[in-house]
Structure 1
Amino acid sequence: MVTSVLSSEQLSAIHQLLDRIAERQRSDFGNIISDVKPDGTLITACDRWSDAELVKGLASIAPGEGVLSEEGSQRVPQSRAYWVVDPLDGTTNFATDIPVWAISVARFVDGRPSEVFLDVPALGQRFVALRGRGVMRNEQSLTTATRQHVNSACVSLCSRSIRVLQRKPNQPFPGKIRLFGVASLNLVSVAMGQTIAALEATPKIWDLAAAWLVLDELGCPIRWLDIDPAELSPGQDLSQTSFPMLAASSWSELARFLPWGEALLQP
């Protein structure tokens, strides 16, 4: 029987699972050889191991709930509750000895994220968001006020969204550009107040799943520029589906950057 929320025992088990995977990733960092996937992105043995461990661990923690993973099945599970996993978000950073990557684990119930975990192994940080119950970083609560204390003029772009600069050559971009190389952390940077907006051109569901709930819980508006991920269908193949999106620290910032988001989709 699927429960709407996870029990405290299940939450604790997920933390233990993430601890074990994060420890292995830190151990492998700097000592890994990567391969190239058909889409041109990198993958390592650590990606594959982490994916297998997450799928096995989640099946034990929440029996009967399917798993959609970047390195495994990329179809929306048939179960009412299911997991969306990116075992190593930022593989290029990881494989080239840049110490910024993340483990992204999100549980969806009725098509929307319900409990999410975003671990940053190299920085020793873990974000946990529970729908309607807020966000914590390393067991410390985050709030809208926390974000507003940071005075940032930075905007996060991904490597593909940076092409908007060519779409508006006669207009200066209204912010200092930052590229973290990790989609989930690009988006969470808005919720943290490190950036005032983030524009992602081609994020997959596993890139945005955990960050989506963090942004929601901290009052950061999101504009889906094409497909709304809340409208997925059981069995749908998401291997080639992207969800271009703009996230901002406020509705006024969203309006200010929306023309740049819309320019991203121009042919």
Structure 2
Amino acid sequence: MTQALTRSALDPGLAALIDRVAERQRADFGHAVSDVKADGSLITACDRWSDATLVEGLAALFPNEGVLSEEGNKQVPLSDAYWVVDPLDGTTNFAAGIPYWAISLARFEHGRPVLAVLDVPPLGQRIVAVRGKGAWRNDKVLRPPSLQAHPAGCASLCSRSIGVLQKLPDRRFPGKIRLLGVASLNLVSVAMGQTVAALEATPKIWDLAAAWLVLSELQCPLRWLLRSPENLVPGSDQAVADYPVLAADRAETLERFMPWAEALQALAADP
């Protein structure tokens, strides 16, 4: 029953499209040459190819639904339903030969994600979430992390949020720090039970769209620290909009990490 649900949640054409992009990324891994974008982040030919292929593929599969993507149109589409795409989240890892990156897609209705896919090509893993139905990894049901024990107590920081440690020098950070370099997977690591919390300083909507739904379906509390991505305004430009966020496995953990989230909030409000 659950396996049928997860497979039916992904249109066969959509699954084949993601498979095609994942296969190309694996083939290009270790041979990528990167350029520097205007914002200082890296981009490779594989990023551009992946973005164009996903955008064109989605337009063919869902012709009445717009697409917002990291390397393409960054304005919120005017269509009732639309897609938010990060074709290769973790380009620095990809370009450096570190086998950890993701393809992130989310379908939005009424300003909120209703279907999410996070494909991790180097690990052969695909996480799918459907609003109101739950989340799965490779067709196996994921349980809320609040129902699990986390003896390791790892917590994810991004490179830009690690500065909060200096803001609270006399307080011991309540987790074993991990910096993995992939915003979408940093956030979803909480939902997967790999970390107890994740603090992201500058995620764009394409970084967090899919992870947001996975976290929501697995009952992980979120605290938006500067602005909320809920109810994005159609036509609004998302090129420079950041959505700092704290994600946690349960409410008690969220409160335990809030002092560092508040420090990040202060930094974001007055950079």
Task: Please state which band the TM-score falls in when normalised by the shorter chain.
Answer: over 0.9
Aligned pair 1:108/2:108, yes or no?
A: yes
Report the counterpart of residue 76 of structure 1 in structure 2: 76
Report the counterpart of residue 18 of structure 2 in structure 1: 18
Report the counterpart of residue 194 of structure 2 in structure 1: 194
Query: Partners in 2 of 1:77 and 1:224 — Cα distance?
Result: 23
RMSD of the alignment, in Å?
1.6
User: What is the deviation of 1:119?
Assistant: 0.3
User: What is the deviation of 1:145?
Assistant: 6.0
Report the counterpart of residue 4 of structure 1 in structure 2: none
Number of residue pairs aligned between Structure 1 and Structure 2:
262
**Runs of at least 4 residues of structure 1 off by over 4 A?**
none
Report the counterpart of residue 239 of structure 1 in structure 2: 239
Report the counterpart of residue 65 of structure 2 in structure 1: 65
Aligned pair 1:219/2:219, yes or no?
A: yes
8 Å Cα contact 2:110-2:231 kept in structure 1: no
Query: Partners in 2 of 1:79 and 1:118 — Cα distance?
Result: 23
Q: Equivalent pairs: percent with the same residue?
A: 64
Report the counterpart of residue 85 of structure 2 in structure 1: 85
Report the counterpart of residue 179 of structure 1 in structure 2: 179
TM-score scaled by length of structure 2: 0.94
8 Å Cα contact 1:10-1:61 kept in structure 2: no
Report the counterpart of residue 94 of structure 2 in structure 1: 94
**Higher deviation after alignment, 8-17 or 164-173:** 8-17
Query: Partners in 2 of 1:228 and 1:41 — Cα distance?
Result: 24
Report the counterpart of residue 36 of structure 2 in structure 1: 36
User: What letter is aligned with 2:222?
Assistant: I
User: What letter is aligned with 2:247?
Assistant: A
Query: Partners in 2 of 1:185 and 1:257 — Cα distance?
Result: 19
Query: Partners in 2 of 1:182 and 1:140 — Cα distance?
Result: 23
Q: Secondary structure at the match of 1:208?
A: helix
Q: Secondary structure at the match of 1:26?
A: helix
Q: Secondary structure at the match of 1:235?
A: coil
Report the counterpart of residue 264 of structure 2 in structure 1: 264
User: What is the deviation of 1:259?
Assistant: 1.4
The runs of 5 or more residues in structure 2 that have no matched partner are 1-6
Q: Secondary structure at the match of 2:100?
A: coil
User: What letter is aligned with 1:265?
Assistant: Q
User: What is the deviation of 1:150?
Assistant: 4.1
TM-score scaled by length of structure 1: 0.95
Q: Secondary structure at the match of 1:86?
A: strand
Q: Note closer, same or farther for the CA distance 1:91–1:23 as it changes in structure 2 (3 Å cut).
A: same
Q: Secondary structure at the match of 2:57?
A: helix
Report the counterpart of residue 3 of structure 2 in structure 1: none
The runs of 5 or more residues in structure 1 that have no matched partner are 1-6
Q: Note closer, same or farther for the CA distance 1:134–1:37 as it changes in structure 2 (3 Å cut).
A: same
- 1:123-146 CA-to-partner distances (Å, cap 9, x unmatched) read 000000010111010011111268
User: What is the deviation of 1:231?
Assistant: 3.0
Query: Partners in 2 of 1:250 and 1:60 — Cα distance?
Result: 40
Q: Note closer, same or farther for the CA distance 1:169–1:65 as it changes in structure 2 (3 Å cut).
A: same
8 Å Cα contact 2:116-2:213 kept in structure 1: yes
Q: Secondary structure at the match of 1:162?
A: coil
Report the counterpart of residue 163 of structure 2 in structure 1: 163
- 1:56-111 CA-to-partner distances (Å, cap 9, x unmatched) read 11011111100000000100000110000000000000000000000001000100
Query: Partners in 1 of 2:109 and 2:231 — Cα distance?
Result: 13
Query: Partners in 2 of 1:114 and 1:231 — Cα distance?
Result: 13
Query: Partners in 2 of 1:91 and 1:181 — Cα distance?
Result: 9
